[in-house]
Chains A and B, each alone.
Chain A
């Protein structure tokens, strides 16, 4: 009897331990291994860092050639002082991983279509389908080709390899106790870092920035509405003015424009669920003003890339110092060097250069087996690639993707079968091998404009507007990327993939890319607008161009003199809504104030009194934005309701058409008896928007819909883990200079004064240097960022200077 009791008790104990030591999925909800996770000695509690915690004083790392000093300042920004390049990038890898490992790896998984390995297939297989989409867009294919290209440049190859070694040496030091929080919660462990992962991260950025196109939508529009309406709704160049570079008549080269391309408009309308849409809230500002417009007499350079505002933050600020290089700024965790920042001589920043760098090529198969396709009158073998997905809690899933001369066939009968079998091959500039990392290696070391320009020649994709300023007084802008020479209208519609000649046969030489240096107006600036004046010889098209932010910036900069860094910070945080300024008077005119109900009257007067500034305490801003959000889908309802995919025209074109063509047939709302014109649509959208605001207010205890509350900006956790995100009450919106929409916005605000006595940098970003949700540095810069405050960055010349201003120092020593 006694033995029996013992055996029962023993088994129950073991079973309980087994249960608590493993992860379970109960009714679709994953439960972390509770015993392991809750244990205060090794579990998640160990990720809660004590206040004022300092890092280790000494680490011995056998792979170092020499000792490295890393000083952390009060923002936890590391200042790395190494005696050679090898150690510099090794240390950058090690330190970045120490603070951001989980995020780095998760992003590479998201790029490579491996999220379902960690999280599972998701509701209705949403995550598995996301992963399949990533593979079908050729993300891994692109990254592999760029790794191969890397080995062409010895310096950058060594840079990436040492960086990788540094990360791996940190990963090897980890135990369950020191594992980042998310690994414990989701119950998995990091795998070794590789150069492929660094390449994947750059492709992930490229996907955010330059994968957009509207070829299928334009093709459908052409079939449905004809060429005249397509020109009216989707002009290549909107009548906005203020291009990035205005060099009217100054382009000193002639080109032979190739013939126009035969169009391949298919028989049926294309109805696919698109994977690769460009989000118009993604964009950026950058500008530089010359010394004769500043109070100090030295140029000032500013930049703020608008990207997804996630936690952990996208950027990691770091200073890198070794013989031949002293640079500081924003780095992308997972890739070496500084992406946006300064060195002792120059500063630079990036905005996305809008340009169509995607084609969809219609494939003609020999038969249903799809094993051969037609190319230049020959039947060529398709290449079948089997993609395996090791889905968590489920058997592996296999997906066969066809590759052609053009690229992968993204949408086909194997993937989303309701996509009326639109078998188009995907041609994307980022599939081409390029060694963009080399460009940053060289920019970090550039001493003058010539060095900078030479460095940019290595940069292919995603095409960017590079702003430049130097302590020697130069300012410049160069739009750099690998640009195919497009025939008129090429790239706007799907193309016939049976002839190689329809593809990209030549590229714009780097020296003919759009650029300017020290223009007469005393500043250079870019904000994702149309890049150039009408006399630039090459054909340009893109998904869309920004129409408002850029004009506000240029207008302000033109008016300013005796500029101080403080003035530039004010401009970066400017919430003036130019779109509202240009459209609201017209919209209000369409309302007959005698027919408004009491709520509508209140809205009407709030809008009339509104100063057109999207401040967080503005009610007018909420009414305007709600009106706009209702107006767009109502105006373009025939596109929303169509089975064929179509794209709404831009805000700028919509406003222009409402004003100039009020009886355009699109303004008639489908399914109503009356024939609506601009006036009626505007009126109806107004009523709906007031109802929306009233409803919002009722849901919030009758609180007024102040813009900061109504917008409800949210810093999302990277893995969408709700309790790890943070809501903020902030002004701005996509069209304002402070382009802070609900989920996207200025991910790093930087102002650099290029004084001869020493470069000064100020910066702030919505998050913090630590990727650990249990650290006080997880989101310590968020509130200052919301309030438009900046921190002066400590940019040191010598390790001794750093030691004086340091919070703590970690010495990385080679083995004795």
Chain B
């Protein structure tokens, strides 16, 4: 339950901050929610919240367009399939979110 609350809190606060802040605002959101809502699975909560947030938004953009730019970017970054691009993106955001949530939780005794 604690995990779920933390997950949702990170997801929403990160979304909110992202609307007017640079990409690393995900770390700020995860850090604060790691601190305030410390659980046993801080890293997992931060990781999965940001990964979910990013995948969801990227999918939304991709589905609403007839453009194949995401495939071209996959080729550019030398990952063969678009799905790998999504996984890589989720891992990048997730890692930052997870570590930030963990750091926030560690600040609290």
Contacts and interface: CB of A to CB of B under 8 A. Distances in A.
Nearest to B18: A41
Interface in B9-35: 18-19, 22-24, 27, 31
Contact of B67 (A38, A41, A49): A49
A248 to B, nearest CB: 56
Interface string B44-64: 000000000010011001101
Given A2-B106, A13-B27, A41-B19, A181 B69 contact: yes
A503 B91 CA distance: 66
Interface stretch (A378-386, A555-563, A768-776): A768-776
A63 interface: no
Contact of B72 (A12, A176, A723): A723
Contacts of A41: 18-19, 23, 57
Given A6-B103, A13-B96, A41-B57, A36 B67 contact: no
Contact of B73 (A2, A5, A44): A44
B66 A776 contact: yes
A17 B22 contact: no
B10 to A, nearest CB: 14
A781 to B, nearest CB: 15
Contacts of A778: 67
A724 interface: yes
Interface string A348-366: 0000000000000000000
Contacts, number: 107
Nearest to A21: B24
Given A17-B24, A39-B18, A185-B76, A44 B54 contact: no
Contacts of A12: 99
Given A185-B76, A723-B72, A723-B76, A43 B23 contact: yes
A40 B14 CA distance: 12
Interface in A23-63: 34-36, 38-51
A721 interface: yes
Interface residues of A, number: 40
A714 to B, nearest CB: 15
A40 B57 contact: yes
A38 B88 contact: yes
A47 B76 CA distance: 15
Grouping DSSP codes into helix (H, G, I), strand (E, B) and loop, the A interface class, with mixed when no group exceeds half, is helix
A721 B72 CA distance: 10
A12 to B, nearest CB: 6
Interface in B62-109: 62, 64-67, 69-70, 72-73, 75-76, 88-89, 92-93, 95-96, 99-100, 102-103, 106-107, 109
Given A20-B92, A41-B19, A51-B66, A35 B24 contact: yes
Contacts of A35: 23-24, 92-93, 96
Contacts of B67: 48-49, 773-776, 778
Contact of B99 (A16, A49, A722): A16
B25 to A, nearest CB: 9
Contacts of B92: 20, 34-35, 38
Interface in A718-762: 721-724
A549 B70 CA distance: 41
B64 A51 contact: yes
Contacts of A176: 22
A576 B22 CA distance: 57
A9 interface: yes
A51 B89 contact: no
A9 B106 contact: yes
Contacts of B61: 40, 45-46, 48, 50
Interface string A302-342: 00000000000000000000000000000000000000000
B99 to A, nearest CB: 4
Given A9-B106, A41-B23, A775-B67, 10 more contacts: A13-B96, A20-B24, A35-B23, A35-B96, A38-B88, A40-B61, A41-B19, A48-B62, A51-B65, A776-B66
30 contacts: A13-B31, A13-B100, A16-B95, A16-B96, A16-B99, A17-B27, A35-B24, A35-B92, A36-B22, A38-B89, A38-B93, A39-B18, A40-B54, A40-B89, A41-B18, A41-B19, A43-B23, A44-B73, A45-B57, A45-B58, A45-B62, A48-B67, A48-B69, A723-B76, A773-B67, A773-B69, A773-B72, A774-B67, A776-B66, A778-B67
Q: Which 9 A-B pairs have the closest CB atoms?
A: A39-B23, A723-B75, A774-B69, A40-B57, A41-B18, A6-B106, A13-B99, A40-B58, A9-B103
